[in-house]
Amino acid sequence: MGVKGKVAWRFMTDKVSKTMFQATYRETQNLLMATSASVEEINVKMQEMGFRVGETLLMDYADRIRDHAATFSEFANTLQLAYKVNSGQEFSSVWVSPDKRTLKFTDDDCPLCAGVIINDMPGLQYCALISGVFDAVMKLRGFNTESYQESCKAVGDATCTWTLNLRA
Ligand SMILES: [Zn+2]
């Protein structure tokens, strides 16, 4: 199916207002901040929400994707495509470690962090939703992985980085 299948999949994706999505995400974060005891708790809750979002996305697209990734490192391309379909933009970089057990994705223009500056919550992983989506995709595809957000623009880092590690 290759390119033809992927292009068809892309055009079948419904669109939603970016402003509405960003505002909804921001208010979700505000609610988590107001109701959580620590930054760690906020991060965990947002990643768990991302997991459930990922389950929905995967179920929605499962029938449309013809070429499933077979190996862990092939998800570098799969997740890039999924990100493009769902956000309208590509990761700035995708890195596969030499041993093919670690994938790192960055976005210098992260749509979740756009316009957000948080100075008083060190360690906050504002866009951990993405890590949770990765968790869901990998688990439902049968891989034992650990996902975490390594850097975040909302708290002052130069880029947002989401890392996936294949466990032993
Ligand atoms: Zn971000």
pTM: 0.88
- H-assigned helices in the chain: 2-11, 18-35, 39-61, 75-87, 129-140
Paired tokens of 122:
């060190």
CA of 111 to the centre of ligand 1 (A): 7
Q: Any idea what the CATH number is for the domain that residue 149 is in?
A: 3.30.1380.20
Instruction: Count up the domains in the chain and report the number.
Output: 1
Confidence at 168, pLDDT banded by 50, 70, 90: confident
CA of 6 to the centre of ligand 1 (A): 26
CA of 1 to the centre of ligand 1 (A): 33
**Could you report the per-residue pLDDT of 44-86, keeping only the tens digit for each?**
999 999 999 999 988 877 766 666 678 999 999 989 988 988 8
Contact 100, 137 (CB under 8 A): no
In this prediction, residue 4 carries a pLDDT of 53
**Could you report the per-residue pLDDT of 1-22, keeping only the tens digit for each?**
445 555 555 545 678 889 999 9
Residues with C-beta atoms within 5 A of ion ligand 1: 110, 112-113, 127, 160
Q: How far apart are CA 90 and CA 79, in angstroms?
A: 10
Neighbours of 38 (CB within 10 A): 10
CA of 58 to the centre of ligand 1 (A): 21
CA of 4 to the centre of ligand 1 (A): 31
CA of 57 to the centre of ligand 1 (A): 19
In this prediction, residue 65 carries a pLDDT of 63
Domain that holds residue 132: 2-166
